[in-house]
């Protein structure tokens, strides 16, 4: 199973996403803002990152761009999970380097299928 970093400033969302992943055998690391998420990702090298967009300081778009441009983390897939459901937001998120873009409230099956899809694309 995957080691997943969840970056979200909402304790409720962190709890919910962590519960879904752990129930399905994944291990979870969390960060409460974009800057911490980038630092933890560089240190821990998770198999995937679930990234919120609307956070104080470094937002999810900026954090995703940093991770996708960094030679140490560019291969780690980022899945954006956000309430921002406009097509322009999705396009922008994917242009920042996200591998997929999901909107809240997240469906458990969609989350797990997306996680499986993006982690199976990682070159060995």
Could you tell me the CATH number of the domain that includes residue 88? 3.40.50.2300
- How many CB atoms within 10 Å of residue 30? 18
pLDDT digits (tens, 9 = 90+) for 71-103: 999 999 999 999 999 999 999 999 999 999 999
pTM for this model (two decimals) = 0.95
Residue 11 lies in a domain: yes
Which distant-in-sequence residues (6+ apart) come within 8 Å of 84 by Cβ?
53, 54, 103
The residue segments making up the domain with residue 87 are 3-119
pLDDT digits (tens, 9 = 90+) for 18-69: 999 999 999 999 999 999 999 999 999 999 999 999 999 999 999 999 999 9
């Amino acid at each position: 199973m995957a080691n997943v970093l969840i970056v979200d400033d909402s304790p409720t969302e962190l709890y919910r996403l962590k519960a879904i992943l752990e129930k399905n055998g994944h291990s979870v690391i969390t960060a409460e803002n974009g800057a911490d998420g980038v630092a933890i990702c560089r240190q821990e090298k998770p198999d995937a990152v679930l990234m919120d967009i609307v956070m104080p300081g470094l937002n999810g778009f900026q954090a995703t761009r940093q991770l996708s441009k960094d030679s140490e983390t560019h291969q780690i897939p980022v899945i954006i999970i956000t309430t921002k459901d406009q097509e322009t937001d999705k396009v922008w998120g994917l242009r920042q380097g996200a591998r997929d873009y999901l909107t809240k409230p997240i469906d458990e099956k969609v989350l797990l299928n997306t996680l499986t899809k993006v982690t199976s694309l990682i070159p060995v």
